[in-house]
Amino acid sequence: MSYDFDLFVIGAGSGGIATARRAAEYGAKVGIAEFDRLGGTCVNRGCVPKKLMVYASHFPDLFEDAEGYGWSAVKSSLDWQKMITAVNNEVTRLNGIYQRMLDNSKVEVLEGYGKFIDAHTIVVGESQVTADKVLIAVGGYPIKPDIPGIEHAITSDDIFHLQEQPQRIVILGGGYIGSEFACILNGMGSEVTQVIRNEKILRGFDEDLRTEIQQAMGNHGIKILNNSQLIAIEKSDTGIKVTVRRDGESEETVVADAVSLAATGRKPNTQKLGLENTKVQLDAEGAIIVDKYSRTNEENIFAVGDCTDNINLTPVAINEGRALADTVFGNKSRTMSYENVPTAIFTTPEAATVGLTEAEAREKYGDAVKVYRSRFRPMYYTLPGKDEKTMMKLVVDQNTDKVLGAHMVGTSAAEIIQGVAIAVKMGATKANFDATVGIHPSSAEEFVTMR
């Protein structure tokens, strides 16, 4: 049977575009559908604009630190409108780059939602196309809890388009998105209250990492209401009132200018795809079930990225997509490895991690686990006289001497752990770390000098 496309991709985010371009390199005729801007969550509502705002939030501390090095005091204020406009202009620039990349790869872009009529037929707006292979790469979306007044809250997607800086903001949720935005807005001068359900932020990360970041956030002026359950949101003359129940008993009300549902969860964006017209199966949370080759129950339909709810990171979606294209169109069969995937949390202080947490390692290897930990004040903070700490940690299997995990909280953690991740991925031992000469003076050298 003749099809319009060898591959048709639904969703032009990082995973979808990476797959489309790689398949086109192998000579496949490729089309892609997108109802919004190119680049998906990462470029438009996530990694890129968020990291630019992280940079913006650091300048007040840098101005202050400079005085310790002999520079005169700097009096400066944030022009929120100028900052947010510059951030969104950069996003627009990147959209243009993605369009040019797809054009250069001869990938045809169709604007609109993609919906299955059957396993090989997709409707996009007023158009109907057929494809031999179809990739679903539609990502996820933020969800709102069903509580009174929830319409007064914004999601993390909306923060990038606020026209005025909220002087008081309540961040709901203790995941990495909520924690990052709490730090960003605190750094920019907003009064921040973060409401979390658990004792600590960043559930699932290493316990020492969680403790270190939460303590630092408190030291920097962020008020964290832990063990708290959101009850209601109400608009009043004085602002937006957020009522929470703490420790299952007492109630507390916080008044703010804005309430952000930054980390109350995301769900796979699979509701409007017409999957009922295919054999594609979903799990209980609406995520698409795939095998190790990203193939669904429908032989010609694949899925990558956040809509599979595997590891929801942009580089993972890209790698999944390229592995799929290599396998299906390049005759180079390979799969994505989910072992030792590094990640970063762009809080202040920054954190990054790769491999097993201490708890995961002890569950798997028991008493054979040995932990090496270091906590110190980096040289940078000595002259400003600040008590900022860096924490580094290695988790090691004593039976094999293999490094099972590496965790860091502190300046440039992401840059440092990216290099450490190569060693962990290769199966390096603690002896290999010890045999490596450190770069002095640097914080990174601590990873090869811990005893």
> Which two three-digit tokens encode residue 398?
């004593």
Whether residue 440 lies in the annotated active site: yes
Tokens 């993972």 found at: 316
Report the alpha-carbon distance of residue 290 to residue 259 in Å, rounded: 36
Active-site residue, from 58, 161, 220, 440: 440
- How far are the Cα atoms of 368, 394, 401 from residue 428, in angstroms, in the given order? 17, 12, 8
Report the alpha-carbon distance of residue 15 to residue 303 in Å, rounded: 9
Report the alpha-carbon distance of residue 316 to residue 51 in Å, rounded: 18
Do the beta carbons of residue 358 and residue 208 sit within 8 Å?
yes
Report the alpha-carbon distance of residue 411 to residue 445 in Å, rounded: 13
Nearest to 104 by CA among 177, 157, 30: 30
Cis bond upstream, residue 49 (ω within 30): no
289 Cβ contact list (under 8 Å, min separation 6): 280, 281, 282, 283, 296, 297, 308
Q: Where are the beta strands (DSSP E) in 262-382?
A: 266-268, 301-303, 343-345, 351-355, 369-376
Q: How far apart are the first and last CA of the chain?
A: 65
239 Cβ contact list (under 8 Å, min separation 6): 168, 255, 256, 257
- How far are the Cα atoms of 8, 118, 269 from residue 277, in angstroms, in the given order? 17, 5, 17
Residue 126 burial class via C-beta count within 10 angstroms: exposed 0-12, middle 13-18, buried 19 and up: exposed
Q: Considering just the CA atoms, what is the radius of gyration of the chain in Å?
A: 24
- Residues with catalytic annotation? 440
